[in-house]
Amino acid sequence: MKSVRFWGTRGSLPVALTSAGLQHKLRQVLRAAQGRALGNDAEIDAFLATLPFSTVGTYGGHSACVQIDAGGDDYFICDMGSGLRPLGQAATAARAGRAQTFHIFVSHLHWDHIMGLPFFVPAFIPGNRVVVYGSHAQLEAALRRQQEQPSFPVDFSIFGAALEFVVLEPGRRQQIGGVTVRSMLQRHGGDSYGWRFEAQGRTVVYSTDSEHPLQDPVHTEQFVEFFRHADLVVFDAMYSLADAISVKADWGHSSNVVGVELCQLAGVRHLCLFHHEPVFDDVAIDAMLAETRRLEEITRSAQALRVSAAYDGLEIAL
């Protein structure tokens, strides 16, 4: 495997940067630029690189959709949130007349994780193949129901690609397109499943919409083993620890603190915070990232754990 690219990183629903939010960022940039000589693009780019990401960028954006570049021609995708739409547009632009195959792994069937399918351009192209994998028995029925009247104007008959639905047994290793894949049951309303991908000596774990009771050692050990020695863990860090164990307990999500603990115990190389709370703006996510990196530093007992926060367009090399 070569890299992981994020097309959608928000939890619950897509969130757009408002004009007021954009103007606030522009004011910050202009204040910081006062007195500086910015005569060309190179000088401007160098100046922007000195500013916080929350000022010059945005975490987005779209709901959950993550692409894994496994090194071959096939596409490997986790979840079908609204980020699936720009992914599909990019894939179609790159197809050069060739048929394409998409392997899509669904964590669960809540709306924010499946809402992108009706807008996935490759599914409309004859000759393409779209295989949707999940561990919910009602996988196909839920996706068809999403496009039934009165919820959506067109049903599955509009798709031109060959669509397949494969229900995988949790815990059982499968070989798919040269990648070893397995799912694991997670604690979430209606159940969710984490996914572990292994190929060419690299391992990626996608674990979102999962709650972790810290007082349950059996649960903890199961996830430590699932994360063991992963090069990258994409982790649901929607809440603060205080929220996750108090007012939002049993809401089916986790925190940055738990992500650090599990990844440290499992010997993970890189933790990426994901499924951002929709009420958090870019400043709040920046602050959570800084706090998480500080937590990792003061609790580190062995190798350093790299920590990042996902944003739409982020690409992580493996």
Q: List the structure tokens of 26.
A: 């522009």
DSSP string, 176-194: ETTEEEEEEEE-STT-EEE
- CATH number of the domain residue 233 falls in: 3.60.15.10
- Summarize the confidence of residues 42-57 as an average pLDDT: 94
The per-residue pLDDT for 253 is 57
* Domain residue limits at 106: 3-26+42-317
| pLDDT tier for residue 305 given thresholds of 50, 70 and 90 | very high
Q: Is residue 46 part of a domain?
A: yes
pTM of the complete model: 0.93
| pLDDT tier for residue 247 given thresholds of 50, 70 and 90 | very low
Q: Count Cβ atoms within 10 A of the Cβ of residue 110 and give its class: 0-12 exposed, 13-18 middle, 19 or more buried.
A: buried
| pLDDT tier for residue 245 given thresholds of 50, 70 and 90 | very low
Q: Is residue 178 part of a domain?
A: yes
Domain count, the chain: 1
The per-residue pLDDT for 240 is 60
Q: Count Cβ atoms within 10 A of the Cβ of residue 124 and give its class: 0-12 exposed, 13-18 middle, 19 or more buried.
A: middle
Percent of the chain exceeding pLDDT 70 equals 96
Q: Is residue 189 part of a domain?
A: yes
Q: Is residue 233 part of a domain?
A: yes
The per-residue pLDDT for 152 is 93
- Summarize the confidence of residues 44-59 as an average pLDDT: 94
Q: Residue 274 is inside which H or E element, if any?
A: strand 270-274
